[in-house]
Amino acid sequence: MTVKDHYTVVVVDDHPLFRRGVHELLDLEPSIELVGEAGTREEALDLVRRYEPDLTILDLNMKGSSGVEILATLKEEDPSRRIVILTVSDSGKDLTACIQAGADGYFLKDMEPEDFLKSIRQTLEGQIIVDASMMAFLTTSLRAKMRSAVQERPVLTEREGDVLELIAKGCTNKVIARQLDISEGTVKGHVKHILKKLGCRSRVEAAVWAAQQKEVH
């Protein structure tokens, strides 16, 4: 199986100086190409729709718009889009809102540059990156939400069940493809269908749903 060695990224932040810093950091990673920068909601939506990047790095607090609203709009159009939040907020409420809106990661702006690049690489490979100190809060919050939701148990195909089990274990798309002997493109398709059937907007919510089902059954 061919391993992807080139990824495209869009950065959305209303501070030009901060965007420049992220740009310079991403330039240190040969496999990543920054294809666009946006400072407003309209620019962000246009760039992502035009380039369909492998990853969008999105600021939470944008002038004149909410990062959560931009995130929700892009995920509503295509749940398979990979979008991470990069923010100064360590609020559990903000974290939960972003994950429920479909974020594939939640990074704090005070993280070390080398940790940032490592997290970006892991996210591009399909991993879910959330600050460890906030993960316990997130898991508790999402489980409470799912317990209160009244819905029929969705029917997954056997293959979708296999993929979901590996998602719950924190496996990347690449690892899932290798484990199941299928292509990464096929994995992405399965993930998209799983999220739609479960009514989830992110792999995080899908993983929590899977864990919750094991507790119930």
**3 state SS for 7-63:** EEEEEECCCHHHHHHHHHHHCCCCCEEEEEEECCHHHHHHHHHHHCCCEEEEECEEC
Kindly tell me if the per-residue pLDDT of 49 is higher than 80.
yes
Average pLDDT over residues 88-111: 85
Nearest C-alpha neighbor of 21 from the set 11, 7, 31: 11
Cα–Cα dist 112/46, whole Å: 30
Q: What is the pLDDT of residue 81?
A: 86
Of the listed ranges 52-61, 121-130, 208-217, the one predicted with least confidence:
208-217
For residue 25, is it left (φ>0), alpha (ψ between -120 and 50) or beta?
alpha
Kindly tell me if the per-residue pLDDT of 83 is higher than 70.
yes
Q: What is the pLDDT of residue 125?
A: 79
Q: What is the pLDDT of residue 74?
A: 94
Could you tell me the end-to-end alpha-carbon distance of the chain, in angstroms, rounded to an integer? 36
Each residue's pLDDT tens digit, 109-163: 888 999 999 989 888 877 777 766 566 666 666 666 555 554 556 889 999 999 9
Q: What is the pLDDT of residue 150?
A: 47
Residue 3 binned pLDDT confidence (cut-offs 50, 70, 90): very low
Q: What is the pLDDT of residue 132?
A: 61
